[in-house]
Structure 1
Amino acid sequence: MTMPIRFGSPVTARRLAAAIGLSALVATSAQAQDIPMPAEDAGLHAQLPEAMRDRGTIRVVSTFGYAPQQFYGEDGVTPEGFSVDLAKALGAVAGVQVEFTNASFDSLIPGLDARRFDMAIAAMSATEERGAKVNFVIYEKAGAQLLVAGGNPKKIGGLQDLCGLTVASLKGSLHNQVIEQVSAKCVDQGKQPVRLDTYDNSDSVYQSLLTGRTDANYRDASPLIHVAKMSEGRLEVVGPEYPDHPYGIAIAGDNADFAKVIAAALDVVIKDGTYQAVLDKWGLGNLSVESAVLTPIGSPASAYPTPPSAIGIAFGQ
């Protein structure tokens, strides 16, 4: 067995990524790795865009290095995670294969617009702002928390304690808006603003915490809980879990017919139990949705689930 990388020793972003991927595999080794794929739905296959049927594949883009949602396995090249298994199940229902591409988070929607990819499954929060550019198929509930260095040296208990500190985040993340709102609240209270440092990938975010360049990371709870568990105490999750926007599969705005196929395919795998089995495999069973929700491009704000304000919770408003 390959020995895990110790977080106490200097690691590069690449070695850290390998450690995260390996840990995710080890964490699920006792679970069934091969979940039976659902049967093809001939009617849905016929509704796929002709070019996609001819190609025989759905081109999926994601942000690998975000376990347990999506990451590369021990070999550094095999896609793993909930997003990967779900995409494969949706492809099986539609009667085509899926192929995966890794990209930075802020390049996902432009890549869809340019038709380099057919859909993005990347733990992307479905919001009205993003929905002005893409169709969304909502597929998973979400919450957000804070990740800090082990021992919590800055004594961070929640968003309200970030004043004067440096927060690491991904470029293009919706959580950056939350941190900007926190910073504004800090200034209103006569405190120092929050400094936001953004990175291209999750491994760089974790590395910034390990090396002390940043003090906290605020984002989806599931990957933070995962990386904290495998970090041997070098990282930890603190504070409450704040309500957050659910995740959506993003599909180009001018590809509405394909979005309808994916929404119908998601309903199929929800009803036949494949969806819950995949969630359970990756320890995400409590984040299931009851049915697929399609929000076409340009849908009004009322079409998107609106969680309670994390700012209001943190600052008592």
Structure 2
Amino acid sequence: MPRTILAGVTALTLAGVAACGGGEGETQRPAGATALYDALPESIKEAGVIRFAGDSHPPYRIVANDGKTVTGIDKDVQEALGKALGVPTEISIVSGLPAALSGMLASRYDAFNGPVKDTAEREKQFDAIVWMVTRTSYLIPKAGSSAIKSSGDLCGKRVAGTAGSITEDQAKRLTEWCTKQGKPTLSFIGFADTNGTILAATSGRADAAGMTESAALDVMGKQKDAFTYVTQTDEQGAGVDQLAMLVPKSSGLGPVMLDAFKEIFKNGEYKKIMDKYGLQNVAVEEPRMNTAAAQ
């Protein structure tokens, strides 16, 4: 339901409450509101929902054939955060990272859960709450994998990846390593979402599909014996990227969302979700906000 309609419905409800003795201009505290609810921005309270942007990116967001029903890590994390905040959540499917970022700045969405890398540049406009880490991996169709046994073999190859994602940045570092080794550079081909990158690899338009390691493992689990994968090394500029939820600074939601993350770490929901998807190796000990600018 559009935010304007939700806000209108909420306003009518509050008007009725005021007529029955509620204070004029007050936002009615809903049943089941938590201790964190009072700290939420008024715009969220009035709308009665936190709207997340999200593209198709298994296993984070698995979009059903109807284009609306979403399951996966993101859905589980957002529902846990919503319970901690006392406000329901919803996901709107968008086409890639640029659409999510511009949509948040235009106030169409309140947050985006990535997976997106926390950077000092992004922290100028967004509060970035780090809640997991990752390495970049490259999914390779077995039908064409004979020449690719390690990430170094990607030099001179075509790599598909989500445009503007961590993968694109990692591919640049890998191609710099290739140049230093006297090898040909790899060619990065940008797509709107992970499904597009996998299709490019399986159709022969790319030699490999770059993505987070958790996403690569998810694909291999669902399409058994169809792929192999290699992981970029520290020597090739990989490191371990911090993945964050982005929230527009102007909204004032960031600090409250950080507290909600702390709550789901404390009550065990975070661990339960990470265990469910086999992500123990990329879990963090505690959530942190805006760490990139401080480095």
Matched, 1:289 2:280: no
Equivalent-residue separation in structure 2 for 1:42 and 1:186 (angstroms): 52
Residue 217 of structure 2 aligns with which residue?
A: 225
Q: Indicate the residue corresponding to 1:91 in structure 2.
A: 82
Indicate the SS of the match to 1:290: strand
Q: SS of the counterpart of 1:124?
A: strand
TM value normalised by structure 1: 0.76
Tell me what 2:71 maps to. 80
Q: Deviations over 1:119-161 (max 9, x none)?
A: 1012112122322321111111222212111155243233322
Given the alignment of the two structures, is residue 280 of structure 1 paired with residue 290 of structure 2, yes or no?
no
Of 259, 265, 290, the match for 1:264: 259
Indicate yes or no: 2:115 matched with 1:127: no
Alignment deviations for residues 148-204 of structure 1 (CA, whole Å, 9 cap, x no partner): 111552432333222211010111112212222322333344432211111111111
Is the CA contact (8 Å cut-off) linking 2:61 and 2:71 kept in structure 1? Answer: yes
C-alpha distance in 2 between matches for 1:187 and 1:139: 34
Larger radius of gyration: 2
1:45 Cα offset (Å): 0.5
The aligned residue for residue 170 of structure 1 is 162
Q: Within 5 A, what are the aligned runs for 1:1-317?
A: 42-64=34-56, 66-73=57-64, 77-103=68-94, 104-150=96-142, 153-239=145-231, 243-255=239-251, 257-295=252-290, 300-302=293-295
CA distance in 1, matches of 2:249, 2:35: 23
How far the C-alpha of 1:267 sits from its partner, in A, is: 0.7
* Shift in Å, 1:252: 0.6
- 1:89 to partner: Cα distance: 1.0
Change in 2 beyond 3 A, CA 1:185/1:275: closer
Taking structure 1 as reference, are residues 188 and 275 closer, same or farther at Cα in structure 2, changes over 3 Å only?
A: closer
The TM-score, its normalising length taken from structure 2, stands at 0.81
Instruction: Tell me the secondary structure at the aligned position of residue 148 of structure 2.
Output: coil
Residue deviations 1:273-295, cap 9 Å, x none? 11111222222233322222111
Corresponding residue SS for 1:141: strand
Bigger mean CA offset, 263-272 vs 192-201: 192-201
Percent of residue pairs identical: 23
Alignment check: 8 A CA contact 1:113 1:253 kept: no
Q: Which amino acid aligns with 1:263?
A: L
User: Is there any run of 5+ residues in structure 2 with no aligned partner, and where?
Assistant: 1-30
Residue 245 to residue 40, structure 1, CA distance change in 2 (3 Å): farther
Name the aligned partner's letter for residue 283 of structure 2.
S
261 and 193 in structure 1: CA distance in 2 versus 1, 3 angstrom threshold:
same
Matched-pair contact (CA < 8 Å) for 1:157–1:239: no
Q: Matched residues in 1 for 2:161 and 2:267: separation?
A: 37
Number of positions where the alignment pairs a residue of Structure 1 with one of Structure 2: 260
Q: C-alpha root-mean-square deviation of aligned residues, in Å?
A: 2.2
* 1:92 alignment partner, SS class: helix
* Partners of 1:132 and 1:218 in 2: CA distance: 27
Cα distance change, pair 99–158 in 1 and its aligned pair in 2 (3 A): same
- State the alpha-carbon separation in 2 of the partners of residues 112 and 293 from structure 1: 21
Change (3 A) 1:285 1:269: same
**Could you tell me how far 1:230 is from its partner in structure 2?**
1.6
1:26 aligns with none
Say if 1:210 and 1:234, in contact at 8 Å, map to a contact too. no
2: CA distance, partners of 1:126 / 1:135: 9
Q: Aligned partners of 2:211 and 2:32: how far apart in 1?
A: 36
